[in-house]
Amino acid sequence: MTARSSARTGTTEPHQAVPTGARAARKREAILEAARTVFLREGFGAGVDQLAAEAGVSKVTIYNHFGSKENLFNAVIGQTLDEALEVAQSVIQAKLAESDDVRTDLLEACRTWVAGLTTPEVLALRNVIAGERHRFPELGATWQEEGPGRQHAALATALGRLDDRGLLRIPDMELAVLQLSGLVLSPHLVYGVYGTALDEDLAERLIQGGVDMFLHQYAVNEV
């Protein structure tokens, strides 16, 4: 995951070329993992000294790899969402678009989507970003781009292919994708703000009911 540019609100070291090579890659991964731990524990207010101590590196090493604390947090967001959405993206891209059993494959896509974004770690990171959105709106922009933006784009492509094949009729794709997200994912995010998780049975009923409502609206024939 490459570091993203952002407004630098704190002191940073002079710009240098990002270190490369196997040793640098290992050190970068160690910094990212340590940063995720510290940001989830302390919030975005955690100092670079804390981040460096957790990672077992110097502050200069962090600046050499990421340029600023904001860039490091953006990289943590990107890595976390890459991991959270990897399986769902694979299902959507490899199976859903060319599906001959739309309900089954859409259920699988939604199950993996919800599972990826409702882990305690992902929900906690989302809450940290929500708490910092007024002071650091670029963090929210990164979350939107790497999370909902990427997932919705993949769904729109796959559902558009099903529309092209005559299995679905979706006149407003942006609306349809938001509706699907609202049906299967949004309740988890609302409850997650307060540290409450839906039980497995209710979560499964939510997904099945949401997919059936979606297909009732958009399927050309029973699928």
Question: Residue 37: left (phi > 0), alpha (psi -120 to 50), or beta?
Answer: alpha
pLDDT at 107: 98
Say if CB 31 and CB 55 are below 8 A apart: yes
pTM as predicted: 0.83
Domain architecture of the chain: domains with CATH: 81-218 (1.10.357.10)
57-62 long-range contacts (CB < 8 A, ≥24 apart) are 57/27, 57/30, 57/31, 59/13, 60/13, 61/27, 61/31, 62/31
Residues in the chain predicted with pLDDT less than 70, given as ranges, are 1-16, 222-223
Q: pLDDT value at position 102?
A: 97
Cβ atoms of 9 and 71 closer than 8 Å: no
**Given this model, what pLDDT does residue 14 score?**
45
